[in-house]
Structure formats: structure tokens, C-alpha cells
Chains A and B, each alone.
Chain A
Amino acid sequence: MATQAVPAEFEPFDDRTPIYQQIADRIRHAVLVGDLPEGAQVMSTTQYATTHRINPATAAKAMSTLVDDGLLHKRRGLGMFVSEGARELLRQQRRATFWEDTFGPAIAEARALGITTDQLIEHLKEQP
């Protein structure tokens, strides 16, 4: 089981949404794309606090959200780890909302720009 800590992310947060949500979203994304494999250790709340100059409770709030979602689990004295099956769980959740949340707006934008369905299909087929 991999227990290596992920490298700290230095990207600053934006100020539109609560930071705990942004931390949770970043961890979800890292799990989804495989940057944080199952069993990997997540950066600690202390590391988040000192890296980003945020309150450690903010990072802890993000972690507990992810624990509630079944994506992370705590190992006493060691820290937070990505749970088995976390990636598949996220994939299923994201697939369920992909058409409406991600693809829908892209189609609407294409319509507004006068891009035809055929052009969209052609573009998709050209993707590697």
C-alpha cells in the first residue's frame, strides 16, 4: 500500500467559494485523475494550514466531508488516506452528472456560436 504524501499544491484558492469546498474538490479531482491513488496519504491539515495560510479547521472540515462521502479514512496518529474504491465511487457520481453539468453547457455554448451537431460529432471523432 502506498503511503507517500502527495506533493503540496501551491495554487492559491479563489475567493468565490468557501475554501473547505475548494480543498475537498481538489482532493476529489486528484483521486479521480489518479494523482492520489487509493491508499495514498493526503496532505495533513497542518500542512494545508502552513502552506496556504489558512486555518487548520478549514482543512479539517474538507477532510471530514470526504470521510463522510466514503472517499477518505483516518488512521489514528498517522493521518488521512484515500479509501479503497474511492476512485470508482467518484467516477460513478461524476458520470451521473456529466451530461447535465459538464456537457450540457458546452452544447449550449456551441449552439450560441452556431456550431452544428455534425461539427460537434466530427470534432469528437477527431479526439485522441
Chain B
Amino acid sequence: MNAPLSVEVDAVTHRFRGVEALSDVSLTVRPGTITGLVGRNGAGKTTLLSLIAALRPVQTGTVRVGGRDVWEDPSVTSRVCLVRDRGGILEDQRIHQTLRVQRALRPHWDEEYAVELLERFGVPLRKKPEQLSRGQRSILGAVVGLASRAELTLLDEVYLGMDAVARRLFYDELMADYVAHPRTIVLSSHLLDEVEDLMEDVVVLDRGRVVAAGDAAAVREQHSSGDRLASLTDVLVHVSTGRTPS
């Protein structure tokens, strides 16, 4: 596996039908870190991740991955894996087919690992993704994300419908695979209590703007009052309402 990839976003503004989803966003994701991308609904997380993964063209500003422009450069895009609610999965064909596509697409794809994980999570490979439950469908996406071993892995709310046990197993697997195969992981989730200790750095988005970024422990300390460390939920409450944790 090649070196983990950095992300540099500089002065990016993005509009949908005139509405600003991202406003002058600049940030850096350090290579080899697990970086959390947090924010309330509509903060711009998914838009930002789509730009980094080159699923959408950048309107204003620049996005660079590993120092290079991502847009329509397959040597970069094959090393960037975005897992989200939809996409990357062949819904109406057996799971084997989805794995085959990844095998062709991903230079570091580990099929044995993917199959082993799916069996461990109880997802039947003979089924079609459209026949799976919401939780199983999410597990399939998460497995594709892990087994891709992409130098930049973007996980956008991959836990939808997964029960508490499945999520715990996923976090365990994420950490085990991350230490065994270091890479850059950007993790977006609303389940802040569950993911806040996984991340080294954090980027906090609020209404399309970066309102806090850097070492996750440092950001939490900056938003703490009294002798109790602020959780990421406290940080979000603070940045979006101005209220400090009591």
C-alpha cells in the first residue's frame, strides 16, 4: 500500500441553485490520520466529501488530494474511496458482482478480507443488495470501504440502520485494520459519542463554514468550561447555539 494521502481544501464555495452549501471552506486533513468531520444536518459534510472524492466538480476554490487535482485523474480517484448511503454498490446484482467491480477498480482491494468480514457480520453473499435490510446494506458499504484499503477512505454516515452490536464490531474492525494498514480516514457521523475517541483530528462544520478544526482533544478542551472535558456534542451545541456546557 502506498503512502496515506493528504487532503487540502482551499477557499471552496459551493452553491446548489444559488443556495450556498459551502462558504469559503479551507481545511487540511493530515495524511495517516483518522479525521472526524462533524456538523449538524445541512452543515455541508456530504457536499464537502463529494468534492474531495471528485463526484462533483469544484465550483470555486481548489481541492487537492496528495497534492494533486482529483478531478478526472483515475490515478488519484482509484485511491480515494467514498462510502455513503448510496453509490458504489450494484443494487440489483448479487454481492459477488459488487466485489468484482471493486477488485477491478481498487489497487489494494483485499477480497478475502471482504468476504471474511461479510460472513462475520452475517451478510449473505448470494443476495442482491436491494434485498438486504437497511443495516445489512450499510454493513456491505462499510466492508467495501474497509477492504478497499484506499489511501484516502471517506466514510459518510455508514452506520445507518446498523444495530449497536454491529456498530461496535465495525469500530473494532476499523481500528484493527487502520493500525494494520495505515491510511487516511475521514469519518462523518452523527453518533458523536461513539466515534469521538476514534479520531485524532476533527473538522467542525456549521452552516457551510469551518468553525473549528485541529487536534480533536485540543478542540474539545477549547470548548470546555469547568473541569469537565467537552464532548463533541457539547462542541456542536456550543458552535451552533453559543451555549457552553453547564
Contacts and interface: CB of A to CB of B under 8 A. Distances in A.
Interface string A24-66: 0000000000000000000000100110111111100100000
A81 interface: no
Contacts of B171: 53
Chain A interface, DSSP helix/strand/loop, else mixed: helix
Interface residues of B, number: 20
A15 B229 contact: yes
Contacts of A55: 34, 197-200, 216
B176 interface: yes
Contacts of A127: none
Q: What range describes how many residues of A lie at the interface?
A: 10 to 19
A20 B175 contact: no
A79 to B, nearest CB: 14
B220 A54 contact: no
Contacts of B102: none
Interface in B156-198: 171-172, 175-176, 178-179, 197-198
Interface in B198-228: 198-200, 216-217, 220-221, 227-228
B148 interface: no
A55 B200 CA distance: 6
13 contacts: A15-B231, A16-B228, A17-B229, A18-B221, A19-B197, A20-B217, A50-B176, A53-B172, A53-B198, A55-B198, A55-B199, A57-B33, A61-B217
Interface of B: 33-34, 171-172, 175-176, 178-179, 197-200, 216-217, 220-221, 227-229, 231
